[in-house]
A and B are shown apart, each in its own frame.
Chain A
């Protein structure tokens, strides 16, 4: 991912996958930084998946309340999409 970001620092999914890596190795601060960059770069279409990653990130580090806030934000942004059910159930 680092190589991908050297070549294209605006690559949303490189930031997201890097945050997944940081989550597994428990470098939460770095992971959060990567996800914040991805959120800031994402288009409306992409934002839903990026926010899904952010929600998972919060849930995995034990901040359920923040994860719930992200789920609500996804509901607000995409009120008509049935896949929000999945996000809620998997929380």
Chain B
């Protein structure tokens, strides 16, 4: 779901609340309209994922938060290796149902696969999760594993950069990792943010923060 929201976030005209906001509602008894009001959102994307070996079943529904009505719902049974295509497909379907027209650039952004190696993606997600929970050393280990499997995995370089940043590993490695990610993918927004953080908070070159 994180990846789908990340795709949607890139679409102009959509205000997307991160999935961590929704985490607090995992076992809630609150109604959809109540959640919508608390988050100030018009629609809620709800989903579940079940994995059986190499198969994955994803149930997704887009709900009008105010009316508590389904706009769209779908069940997908796919091979695990097709997960990236499926993420893009769901993001595209959501934008269609919300009557948003995607620009060619946005279409490109949401169809781009983060990595060609599924195991690398698994390591990346684990590393990111450790990073989120401030377990920085484990985050570093898993993100490095991801990069070892796919040396063109730009998002993994960025997250490793954040791990270095918070571990106070020599400053320049943060910049090097951000630049490496941008070399692979010049459209990586997180890499620009990491580089700005480096320039601003580590080097105090604040004017570079703008670009």
Contact = CB atoms under 8 A, between A and B. Distances in A.
Same assembly: yes
DSSP class of A's interface residues: helix, strand, loop or mixed?
Answer: helix
B20 A46 contact: yes
Contact of A10 (B9, B187, B188, B192): B9
A21 B18 CA distance: 24
Interface in A35-81: 40-46
Interface of A: 1-5, 7-14, 17-18, 20-21, 24-25, 40-46
Contacts of B192: 1, 3-4, 7, 14
28 contacts: A2-B210, A3-B192, A4-B189, A7-B192, A8-B9, A8-B10, A9-B12, A10-B14, A10-B15, A10-B16, A11-B189, A11-B193, A12-B18, A13-B193, A14-B189, A14-B192, A17-B193, A17-B196, A17-B200, A18-B210, A20-B206, A21-B206, A21-B209, A25-B206, A40-B15, A41-B16, A41-B18, A43-B17
A17 to B, nearest CB: 5
Interface string B13-27: 011111111111000
B99 interface: no
Contacts of B19: 43
Interface residues of B, number: 30
Contacts of A25: 206
B198 to A, nearest CB: 11
B43 interface: no
B102 interface: no
Contact of B187 (A7, A24, A40): A7
